[in-house]
Structure 1
Amino acid sequence: MVSGLINENPTVYERKERRVRTDSTNTDEDIRDPEHPYSLEQLKVLTEDSVEVDDFKSYVRVTFTPTVEHCSMATIIGLSVRVKLMRSLPPRYKIDIRVAPGSHATEAALNKQLNDKERVAAALENPNLVEMVDECLSPSFE
């Protein structure tokens, strides 16, 4: 992962029991934190309540809460969530990724960056960013 951690000792929570899935999609649904060997769920960066899905309108909104207000990895976290959804959902879905209100020092800039198609496309052309995102999305072997 990354050296020089922003939040060296994050609070780690129990994983929630999940419903059994009946389809054949990827069974490892966790997205790992870019700095720690924990999932975003274990760090309460993401919760079930932070995901809104409107199948009728083909709309998904994910609101995440970084562990610290000045988290430098917030962009990577948001990009990882977006890429996971882009790979998992049909292309008809509009994906909206947001930082929880009041949870980050540059909330407005992050929200704009994470939802701008050109900025996201440019980020996904950067091999270093793609490598970080892929690491966050790779299966864990717990």
Structure 2
Amino acid sequence: MVTELINANPVVYERKERRSRPVQMDTDEYAVEPIDQQEVFDHVRDIKDPEHPYSLEELKVVSEDAIEVNDAQSHVKVTFTPTVMHCSMATVIGLCIRVKLMRSLPSRYKVDIRVAPGTHASETAVNKQLNDKERVAAALENPNLLGMVDECLAPTYA
């Protein structure tokens, strides 16, 4: 993907063990599973970093603690932390998170993707790009960028 790495030797962390989620039953015995922090994390944890053969979880770019879910208001907020302050792939990483959640969550959810405060030199610009519908739509019309996103979202060793 990228020939010259911005962070050639990232710190790689151990993956957390997957936990099973209890299934709640409503009064008519249908499974009712509100979206929660763990479910959102399970969707984004295995996204492959665009520069490295590691997942966003392994690089601590995403963590369960940095996800906020308000199921009643259909709102999800994911805050991610690039591995370096000048990460040129921050927008691509955020776009991967957004696309993964667009494909995984029911369409009623509003999703906000943010760079953790103080973790990127262009934090405001990246946040603006990732949360502007027109900019996201335009980015996804670019076949090269869409190919990069699809490669990051492709199933791996999960």
Instruction: Please confirm whether the aligned pair reaches a TM-score higher than 0.5, indicating the same fold.
Output: yes
Give how far 1:102 is off: 0.2
1:55 aligns with 2:67: no
Secondary structure at 2:114's aligned position in 1? strand
Runs of 4+ in 1 over 4 A off after TM superposition: none
Q: Which runs of 5+ in 1 are unaligned?
A: none
Secondary structure at 1:124's aligned position in 2? helix
Partner of 1:13: 13
| TM, length-normalised to structure 2 | 0.84
Secondary structure at 1:95's aligned position in 2? strand
Partner of 1:103: 119
| TM, length-normalised to structure 1 | 0.93
CA distance in 1, matches of 2:11, 2:120: 17
CA distance in 2, matches of 1:52, 1:141: 26
| Superposed CA offset, 1:63-116 (max 9, x none) | 000000000000000000000000001111000000000000000000001000
CA RMSD of aligned residues (A): 1.8
Equivalent residue letter for 1:112: K
CA distance in 1, matches of 2:107, 2:157: 30
Equivalent residue letter for 1:77: I
Equivalent residue letter for 1:8: A
Partner of 1:36: 52
Partner of 1:128: 144
Aligned residues: 140
Structure 1 counterpart of 2:88, from 57, 68, 72: 72
**Percent identity among equivalent residues?**
73
Secondary structure at 1:60's aligned position in 2? strand
Give how far 1:57 is off: 0.4
Give how far 1:140 is off: 1.1
Determine which structure has more spread, i.e. the larger CA radius of gyration. 2
Structure 2 counterpart of 1:115, from 117, 127, 131: 131
CA distance in 2, matches of 1:69, 1:105: 5
Give how far 1:20 is off: 2.3
CA distance in 2, matches of 1:115, 1:127: 20
Secondary structure at 2:136's aligned position in 1? helix
